[in-house]
Structure 1
Amino acid sequence: MEVVNRIKLSILTMILLILIYALIMMHMEGLSFINALYFSIVTISTVGYGDITPTTELGKIISSIYILCGVGIGLYALGNIAEFFVSGYFKKTDRMRKMENRIKKLKDHYIICGYGKCGKVITKKLEKSGVNYVVIDINEKILEKELENDPNFNYIVGDATHDEVLIKAGIDRAKGLISAVSRDSDNVYITLSAKRLNPNIFVVAKAEEKVSMDKLLIAGADRVVSPYIIGGLRMAALALKVDILDFVSTFMSIARYEYDEDLEIRKIEVKSNSPLVDKKLYESRIREKFGANIIGIKKRDKLVINPSADTEISSGDIIYAFGTGEQLDNLERVARGLFNNSNDQI
């Protein structure tokens, strides 16, 4: 039982005990209600002014029992009140209030449904990228512990398959939703609900079973990820091409930890208003201007690996680029036609 409920129960028990004893004293000692209530409070508090005392033997016996019970309940109540303050309940309440206010103000954030092993990895990645998020899970204790360790952690306790929970997480203002609960059926349901509440939201869903991948896409998921397929491919690649993968991992680790360069591979869509459209790679001067390297271009259903300098960039192409976060941010801004000054233009 929560400490607040224990405090309420003990105080209610004390009030009932005081009233019951007062009524007994009215009947046995012939006291008025005010005097009986006064005598009851004085007795349970062990003040003992002595102006009113039980005159009958039965009254003295009942008073003795009343004192023992009353003192025990009083100490129990005081102990719970002390625990209320010592355990930092006010601090916890304040953290919750601040978190709820943060969630109400969030915009273009991500909603993570499920805080299991996969959800925790996703959350840490979003935190590292400086992206706002809200976690939804039914395990309140785990979420409270995370908030205690990280005051900026945002969560909502509830079932993500329920619309009211998604609405509380601000799905109408969210940029994306990642459904990573354990059951594929729940991921399908969450995807359907998310797309109905916010048709423009970008949904990434987890699939435990391969047969669920098509169902999630039909439900409206923009991307479907199977951790087992990805993990299996990675393990096979490590076994077959360990030297190459070790080189890539080592290279990126050295850049990150020794030179503080956060290297990554990013997929960037070229919009119709981008200055890159209808230019060949050598004309775009992407490497010269942004420092990023183009390792692939997806043209409709065709993927061009290591494209030549004469490869033409078209509207709707997907560019796979390798570089630092800042380099890729600048390239993505131009690819999406969001350049703001002459330095951004080609």
Structure 2
Amino acid sequence: MTPRRLRSNLRLLTQPWIGPILALITVICGGALGYRITEGWDWGDCFWMVLITISTIGYGEVEPLSTAGRLVTVLIIGGGVVVVQLTIQRLLGLAESGYFRQLRALRFRRKLRRMHDHVIICGYGRIGREIGEQLLQDNIQVLVVELDAQRIQAAKERGLRVLEADATSDETLLEAGLHRCRSLVAALPSDAANLYVVLSARGLQPSCRLITRSDSEEAAAKLKLAGASVVVSPYVAGGRVMAASALRPLAVDFMELLMGSDCEIEEFQLSSAPDRLENLSGRTLSELQLGRRSGAMVLAIRDQGRLVANPGGEMRLEPGQLLVVLGSKEQLLRFRDLLGSSVDMVETMGRSSTA
């Protein structure tokens, strides 16, 4: 947060209370001074008398009061009533002016600044809603950016955090934690709006993973040029799933089963720098025994554009290869530890993605 924005927020918080606080201080200090002058008490007794008087506790007089002292007491009581009335009026005025709503917004923005490794969903329509449901099942932090009141309410009812703002604005993306997020999903109903989001996000955070929807091949090409990491057409994706269900139902059932289980498929991109592979380079899977030591299974290895499915033990690891591995979260963590610094990037299929 910029210093100027911080000062503005501080003024918002403190300005409405300056009047009542000054009035209370005036009554307390003026009353103590009155007792000091009229009764000659020490300051401790003066402030104590003011406190029990203005709070209506009324333990009794510190010492018998003179006529002037009683007049001071009457003035303190009157001043206390005025302060209470002023405070009540101010509270009612603040409630009508939306002050407490602004306070809630400030607290929400503080929570946003503490969010890390979350997924930003721009748009909570049918697609955004489905994405949110899947991420909730995987216990991933989600932040929805939306302007439509009904969709905002629907997202809040599902327990999602919602930033009520324009997703195409640079300021909104920064406030949503673009620099700290795991990925951003542009699921707005308009291809033009999604293009604006992708352009803004890519300019602000070049390394951010951007996933967006498109309604046409032409829009998909433009979104790719704008910097989208993945472009998904709901119609094309739906058609492919339906075709796969007709031709390869077992494969589709397996992926659905995977989505609902503790297993994940991760892609481990090995570094292209030979010195980073340490003692892995040139050694076979049998020699390394990665599967036995981690419990994970190497499903495939992509090497220079060639995909080797179910690689045998004689397959050698080389710089730049991509390893597709199946296992539980713990098994995949052990597998990653075994690879060590030789890994450039890890992508998770089915649950999450981390770099």
Tell me if TM exceeds 0.5.
yes
Amino acid of the structure 2 residue aligned with 1:181: L
2-structure distance, mates of 1:230, 1:145: 25
Paired residues of 1:269 and 1:335 also in contact (CA < 8 A) = no
What's 1:124 paired with? 133
By how many angstroms is 1:96 displaced? 5.0
1:302-328 Cα distance to aligned partner (Å, 9 max, x none): 222222222222233222112222222
Shift of 1:172: 2.9
Q: 1:284 to 1:120 in 2, by over 3 A?
A: farther
Cα RMSD (Å): 3.1
Secondary structure at 2:109's aligned position in 1?
Answer: helix
Amino acid corresponding to residue 199 of structure 1 in structure 2: P
State the match for 1:284 in structure 2: 288
Task: Number of aligned residue pairs: give it.
Answer: 245
Deviations 1:29-60 (A, max 9, x none): xxxxxxxxxxxxxxxxxxxxxxxxxxxxxxxx
Question: Shift of the alpha carbon at 1:178?
Answer: 1.5
- Residue 137 of structure 1: how far off its partner (Å): 1.4
SS at match of 1:313: coil
In structure 2, how many angstroms separate the alpha carbons of the residues matched to 1:216 and 1:250? 28
User: For the structure 1 residues 204 and 251, does the alpha-carbon distance in structure 2 shift closer, same or farther, using more than 3 Å as the test?
Assistant: closer
Residues 88-129 of structure 1 deviation map (CA, whole Å, 9 limit, x = unaligned): x99988865543221021233322111112212222333333
Which amino acid in the other structure matches residue 205 of structure 1?
T
Q: Could you say which residue in structure 2 is the equivalent of 1:75?
A: none
Give deviations 1:107-158, integer Å, cap 9, x for gaps.
33322111112212222333333333321112133223432452xx222112
Structure 1: tracts of 5 or more residues without a match: 1-80, 340-346
Task: Please give the alpha-carbon distance, in whole angstroms, between the structure 1 residues aligned to 2:168 and 2:257.
Answer: 42
Letter in 1 for 2:289: R
Superimposed CA distance per residue, residues 53-105 of structure 1 (whole angstroms, 9 cap, x where no aligned partner): xxxxxxxxxxxxxxxxxxxxxxxxxxxx9xx9xxxx99988865543221021
Task: Name 2:246's counterpart in structure 1.
Answer: 239
Letter matched to residue 236 of structure 1? A
Matched, 1:213 2:217: no
Q: What is the CA deviation profile of residues 148-204 of structure 1, one whole-angstrom value per residue up to 9, with x for unaligned ones? A: 452xx2221122111121122122333321112122222222111101111221212
The equivalent residue for 2:311 is 307
Q: Tell me the percent identity.
A: 28
The separation in 2 between residues aligned to 1:118 and 1:336, in whole angstroms, is: 37
Residues 254-273 of structure 1: matches in 2 within 5 Å? 262-271=262-271, 272=273, 273=276
What residue in structure 2 maps to residue 106 of structure 1?
115
Unaligned runs of 5+ in 2: 1-91, 344-355
Q: Is the partner of 1:312 in helix, strand or coil?
A: coil
Confirm or deny: 8 A CA contact 1:163 1:193 kept in the other structure: yes
Question: Aligned to 1:142, which of 144, 151, 164?
Answer: 151
Is residue 2:188 matched to residue 1:188?
no
Q: Name the structure 1 match of 2:27.
A: none
* Change in 2 beyond 3 A, CA 1:119/1:98: same
TM-score under structure 2 length normalisation: 0.60
- What residue is the counterpart of 1:329 in the other structure? 333
CA distance in 1, matches of 2:338, 2:147: 41
Q: Which amino acid aligns with 1:130?
A: N
Check 1:330–1:125 CA distance in 2 against 1; reply closer, same or farther (3 A cut). farther
Tell me the TM-score normalized by structure 1: 0.61
